[in-house]
Amino acid sequence: MKLITLCADDFGYNAAISHSIAALATQRRLSATCCMTNMPYWPKAVELLQDIKDTLDIGLHLNLTEGKALYLPATNQFNPLRKLLFLAFTHQLDVTLIANEIRCQLDCFFKATGRLPDFIDGHEHVHHLPVIREALLTVYEEYYPAHQAYIRIASNPFNEALRQSLRCKKIIIIALTGALALKRKLIDLNIPHNNSFSGTYSLNPKENYAALFKNFIKEISRQGIIMCHPGKQSDPYLDSIALARQQEYAFFNSDYFSTILTTIKLTRLKN
């Protein structure tokens, strides 16, 4: 039986997503979630963690593309992912400003929960990118001198990522834009991280998510992380992947997923 960490992303994004994740966690159908502390709904969402905080790994979903910045000056608006990619790879990002934004999002998590996150990852995997990953590692060493939290890596070794990209091209793009580079850094610094990753797909609601999830289980190694994005009734006008979220929520809330849970064991990666 595989031990798997099933992590629901985007807790705090809005009410529908936050309540959906809390509901699934209450049913023990998740073992981790990551929080967006810069989104307007976060102060209310954090109340939902009270009844589930001891059953999940609860992480920071570092957000540099949506919502308002907590530190960055001027308009306090982030760049969309495509522009952020360009700025990162042309080294036009200010590592000090990014590090301060990370500190603010961590501090916001701490003030709301009374604890530091069990792990850190990035919304749209931004924590992998050049400059951003250097800023993250600097802040991580400040906040976790004993390396008591893990950093999530959204990729597998290159050959495996290349093979999986036949199913979804995003997989190799994520690997090559920084996931593999960050993993090498984590190994060098002896920072805990997941040994494998799955859950990436097109987020097209026309895809058969139940069939996809079977592939995710095959792809993942023991004690790896599967990413998901459940969200019942998330608004398609305000949330670009709302329909995919709804399909995922229906799957994880189904009797069919109950049968899958008899073949795998959901576990927390944090020791």
* Pairing state between β 32-35 and 2-11: parallel
Query: Residue 181's pLDDT is what?
Result: 97
b/e 120-148 (16+ beta carbons within 10 angstroms → b): bbbbbbbbbbbbbbbbbbebbeebbeeee
Q: Per the structure block, which two tokens stand in for 99?
A: 């590090």
Q: pLDDT tens, position by position, for the chain (271 residues)?
A: 899 999 999 999 999 999 999 999 999 999 999 999 999 999 999 999 999 999 999 999 999 999 889 996 655 678 899 999 999 999 999 999 999 999 999 999 999 999 999 999 999 999 999 999 999 999 999 999 999 999 999 999 999 999 999 899 999 999 999 999 999 999 999 999 999 999 999 999 999 999 999 999 999 998 899 999 999 987 888 899 999 999 999 999 999 999 999 999 999 998 6
Q: How far apart are CA 72 and CA 86, in angstroms?
A: 18
The CATH number given to 2-266 is 3.20.20.370
* Structure tokens, 186: 């984590």
Instruction: With beta carbons less than 8 A apart as the criterion, state whether 194 and 269 touch.
Output: yes
Sign of CA dihedral 103, 109, 113, 119: negative
Cα–Cα distances in Å, from 119 out to 74, 192, 253?
A: 29, 9, 25
Query: Cα(28)–Cα(170) distance, rounded to whole angstroms?
Result: 29
State if pTM tops 0.85.
Answer: yes
pLDDT for residue 73: 62
| d(C-alpha 177, C-alpha 185), whole Å | 14
Cβ atoms of 52 and 27 within 8 Å: the answer is no
Output the six-digit token pair for 247.
Answer: 């399909």
